[in-house]
Structure 1
Amino acid sequence: MPAQSQPEETEGTGRAEGDRRLIFLRILKALLALALLPVALMVLYLLPFIHPPSTLMLADLALFRGYDRQWVPLERISPNLIRAVMMSEDGQFCSHDGVDWVQMRSVIDDALDGEETRGASTITMQTVKNLFLWNSRSFIRKGMEIPLALIADKVWTKRRTMELYLNIAEWGPGIYGVEAASRHHFKIPAAKLSARQAALLAVSLPNPIDRNASKPGPGLRRLAAMVERRARGADPYISCVDR
């Protein structure tokens, strides 16, 4: 009897190994498809009539909170805002490849030295984060954000990246995109934003829940004044999004 049971045991072991291999391959294919999905969406988002939502918008919908977002093309956004956002968020937007490696190395050096780190996210990195990732600080998310930003910079023009960013950025609870933000905070369309209003919106971006562009405190007003001054001399830095 033992001699007869050995082939059965071998056959059972081989079947189990085959099942495990099949499960592993299925998981690998699913992970590969998940990794390629953002790239496929990037190509889709090249089309100007595609107005994608951010992951935060989708979360608001899932939680039945709703949101306000009115898409506008870049041509209908005040140049004051484009200048202010670039000077506040990413002064090297036109020259980097999606990642500002100089700023990134500085942040890594600070972290290794045990110092408090500052943000080094470019507009491209923030755009892919808002479209494809989650909104929390973690090395895992940052590790996914960097390759996505590098790919996005190859797929999208700088103008399209800026258009996407300004139409999905959060400017308050349930307020997404510059048109909704402009009407909510200043009761005017985004095309008519003044230099000061644009600067206030720009400096509220890092923390739009606590920073209210229409009711700025002294600190926010000082930041806005600094960004407004920078924006006046921004011509050499914004050539990639000039009309």
Structure 2
Amino acid sequence: MNLKGIVPRTWRRLKRVLLVLFIAHFVYIIILKWVNPPITITMISNWVSLWGTDKHFHKTWAGYDEISQHAKLAVIASEDQLFPDHDGFDFKSIEKAMKHNQDSKKIRGASTISQQVAKNVFLWQGRSWVRKGLEVYFTFMIEKIWGKQRILEVYLNVAQTGDGIFGVEAAAQAYYNKNAASLNREESAMIAACLPNPVKYTVNPPARITAYRQRKILVQMRNISGDPDIATLVTGRE
């Protein structure tokens, strides 16, 4: 067996495969600027986990103008108050989280809304360096190609908002028997309050921690509502 010939051929084939994957992902990112992602790995995993239980999978897409401005403001207040201003990464929060995680068993995250969209749409859950590296790439790409409004729209539709529930439209229907456009401030803040752990931080019935987070989010919503960049984004005038 001629190893000297096999190694270069294998490397050339690997480079072709990587190039094809890169181009395919790049095209997919461009397509998703206008076409809604059909399903994500997280959704599939959650759907499978519901097999054999009495719970059902709920996912309903709502366009940007079909979502309450309160809901948009609530998730920004809860998850990423610098969302309109950064380029996908909040480096100060990342630095603080790294320092905190060095001295604490309780891991603190610092992912922006853009990073969460990159992870939820293109990748899988986990904390490996490979996934984190890919997350950086996809975050950079959607920031450059999609823009803030599209990123926020996708986030509001793919974020898990309960056990088997994805997106604010499905949450509005499941918890309040209304559509996402009709959500008021309190309802929007309650849904946003569940986002860090939508299975533990239940909305209906509301867990104590969810109600506590809701009150904090309502205060933050009032504090950031006067920011012109946030106001422009939530009203859809980007």
Scaled by the length of structure 1, what TM-score is found?
A: 0.85
Give 5+ residue unaligned stretches, structure 1. Answer: 1-11
Sort the Cα spacing of 1:136 and 1:159 in 2 relative to 1 into closer, same or farther, 3 A. Answer: same
| Superposed displacement of residue 100, structure 1 | 0.9
| Residue 222 of structure 2 corresponds to residue 224 of structure 1 | no
Report how far residue 241 of structure 1 moved. 3.8
1:21-48 deviation digits (Å, cap 9, x = unpaired): 111221232234334443321100111x
Identical counterparts, % of pairs:
30
CA distance in 2 between partners of 1:175 and 1:62 (Å): 13
User: SS at the partner of 1:233?
Assistant: helix
How far, CA to CA, are the matches of 2:50 and 2:191 in structure 1?
A: 27
Equivalent positions of 1:99-138 (< 5 A) are 99-111=89-101, 113-116=102-105, 117-138=107-128
Match of 2:43 in 1: 57
Partner of 2:13: 26
- Gap runs ≥5 in structure 2: none
1:195 equivalent in alignment to 2:185: yes
Equivalent position SS for 2:70: helix
Match of 1:162 in 2: 152
Shift of 1:194: 1.4
In structure 2, the residue matched to 1:234 is 224
Show CA shifts across 1:102-156 (max 9, x none). Answer: 1112223334x43454110000000010011111233332222122211210011
Q: After the TM superposition, which segments of 4 or more aligned residues of structure 1 sit over 4 Å from their partners?
A: 60-66
Match of 2:25 among 38, 56, 60: 38
For the residues of structure 1 that align with 2:199 and 2:25, how far apart are their CA atoms?
Answer: 27
Separation of aligned partners in 2, 1:196 and 1:204 = 13
Provide the aligned length of Structure 1 versus Structure 2: 228
Note closer, same or farther for the CA distance 1:64–1:188 as it changes in structure 2 (3 Å cut).
closer
